Amino acid sequence: MPFASTLNGDFGKTEPQLFSYNAVICSTNIRHTMTDLITRPRRLRKSPALRAMFEETTLSKNDLVLPIFVEEELDDYKAIEAMPGVMRIPEKYLAREIERIAKAGIRSVMTFGISHHTDDTGSDTWREDGLVARMSRICKETVPEMIVMSDTCFCEYTSHGHCGVLCDHGVDNDATLINLGKQAVVAAAAGADFIAPSAAMDGQVQAIRQALDAAGFTDTAIMSYSTKFASSFYGPFREAAGTALKGDRKTYQMNPMNRREAIRESLIDQAEGADCLMVKPAGAYLDILRDIRERTELPLGAYQVSGEYAMIKFAALAGAIDEDKVVLESLGAIKRAGADLIFSYFALDLAERGIL
């Protein structure tokens, strides 16, 4: 006791008595003192076979979608310096690349076009012979079983680089909806399996669903970029896609600090008829991915964006990390958080080298 009574009734402090263990310490003593441990999680980790047996999250090629960049009027492959290992594919070589992707076992691609025919509305996107239509057509004619997702936006097709029709107060939401519907119908007619609206316009899923159904494409699905943040992780994509953007997209893409709004955006798209939802970016938003996973029964995708890819690549090139291990850990984390599909620039390399 730190305080003790004296004979005269006064209270005074005494030195606390310290516990003393006088036995000789050896491994046998330690084992005897620890025999009351009932739970030992390490039992299930003691061999590679046990660790594999009890692994809760597994990755396969079927989890991955490969985003590809296709440039018209390009003579040869063009390296994207900010994304080592990623190339712009000349349109004339797209069929060859789709065969290569299919041979590696990747079942789905997301197409992004780099257009040389830009204007203030991105009208090339709804031309029947425009780049959007040609990409889907080439993919499906070359490998019919390839699942083609047509990124549905305007930023690579407008002279100003924004994702819709510009007006005095910014991007005109409702005018852009009309054009999104036209682009979606053209892509569906060319064979796209999924329309993937990424323009971040209010009501875009409903507008596209109505346009598709009216044109007879009731079986064409919508993979909505339902929760898309105005993220700084998109930096390398600007080089990859060749956008002419000046300024930012913060009036239509989401504030990265908003969690409740992020959930709401995806649930709105679900109510409008989306067949699949998506969180973009993925790695810095695993909490949002889990939140949405717990609120919807729809398939849920996550996009490991260009900045996420570049950070891993450049860190590996500097010798700071083991690229393969970090790639698998990052993809595993995205799936563990709730993703059914992961859009990743690592997909083809992982498949071709037999890592997945």
Name the binding residues for Zn(2+).
153, 155, 163
User: CA–CA separation, 181 vs 199, rounded Å?
Assistant: 12
User: CA–CA separation, 187 vs 211, rounded Å?
Assistant: 12
Yes or no: say if 105 and 142 are a contact pair by the CB < 8 Å rule: no
User: Tokens standing for 180?
Assistant: 């999104």
Determine which one of 78, 140, 246, 280 is catalytic. Answer: 280
User: CA–CA separation, 252 vs 290, rounded Å?
Assistant: 23
Q: Is 280 a catalytic residue?
A: yes
Query: Can you say which residues are annotated as belonging to the binding site for 5-aminolevulinate?
Result: 238, 249, 306, 345
Determine which one of 140, 228, 313, 335 is catalytic. Answer: 228
Return the exposure string of 46-60: e unless at least 16 CB atoms fall within 10 Å of the residue's CB, then b.
eeeeeeeeeeeeebe
Tell me which residue of 297, 302, 272 sits closest to 208, measured CA to CA. 272
Give phi and psi for 146, each to the nearest 5: -65, 130
Q: Is 13 a catalytic residue?
A: no
β-strands 11-13, 300-303: how paired? unpaired
Give the other-Cβ count within 10 Å of 235's Cβ. 13
Which amino acid makes up residue 149?
A: M
DSSP 88-109: EEEGGGHHHHHHHHHHHT--EE
Q: Tokens 């009027």 appear where?
A: 73
Query: Can you say which residues are annotated as belonging to the binding site?
Result: 153, 155, 163, 238, 249, 265, 306, 345
DSSP 27-44: HHHHHHHTTT----GGGG
Q: Which residues are part of the catalytic machinery? A: 228, 280
